[in-house]
Amino acid sequence: MDSHSRFTALITVDIQPDFMPGGPLAVTGGDEILESLGKLMGSDGFGLLVATQDWHPFAHISFASRHPGKNPFDVISLYGQDQVLWPDHCVQGTPGAALHGALDWHRVSAIIRKGMDPAVDSYSGFRNNWDSEGKRPKTGLAGYLRERRITDVCLCGLARDFCVKWSAEDAVDEGFNVTVIWDATRAVDPSSDEKVRADLEALGVRMAVADDLL
Ligand SMILES: [Zn+2]
């Protein structure tokens, strides 16, 4: 890491049992990234550690179970935007919603909980998805990072094609230099990898592997 590392934040996205193999919204290979996440979180190469945590109220609008006749992974129109319907996951206070027990979270300065509005989903750590007024309300993460003098963010976690991607896009939009630690992410749909990577690179997001940063 270079001498500017104190201005770099590591953001771990949604490292929660419900997204791990065996969970209701399992991301294939999600558990394979835990070892390198542990190394990244233990490294001195980052000035700040932040975690996002998917944290839904019971019967959240993103749950297929809320929509009669619909199945998980169906796509509906919600407030004029596509909304993927998910299996029930990360319900507030349940064990599956906890930050994963295999990692040491004590150096994490801030935990940004998202998806708490019963009627709005949230993939990004920076902003909710669209609400009924067509807006994407902010979580406050960008302001927090700026007040901590962070200029660069490195993203890892789950899932590559949803919460990591959306967080990376919003981080660019907020003016941060953004790196995705590609091998420390896994996708819901690995067939989207090429497009996810190309979309992010087109925005100026740098792709790295964990070993580059350790
Ligand atoms: Zn969710």
State how many domains the chain has. 1
Domain range holding 17? 3-58+89-213
Ligand 1 geometric centre to CA of 177 (Å):
26
Position 99 in a domain: yes
Question: CB of 193 within 8 A of CB of 183?
Answer: no
Question: CB of 128 within 8 A of CB of 122?
Answer: yes
Ligand 1 geometric centre to CA of 121 (Å):
7
Q: What is the pTM of this model?
A: 0.96
Question: CB of 166 within 8 A of CB of 123?
Answer: yes
Ligand 1 geometric centre to CA of 34 (Å):
20
Report the run of H or E that residue 52 belongs to, with start and end.
strand 48-54
Structure tokens at 158: 């789950």
CATH number of domain containing 125: 3.40.50.850
The pLDDT value given to residue 2: 52
**Bridge partner list, 56:** 91
Position 77 in a domain: no
Residue-wise pLDDT for 75-132, tens only, equals: 999 999 999 999 999 999 999 999 999 999 999 999 999 999 999 999 999 999 999 9
Residues annotated catalytic, as ranges: 14, 114, 163
Name the one residue in this structure whose structure tokens are 């049992």: 17
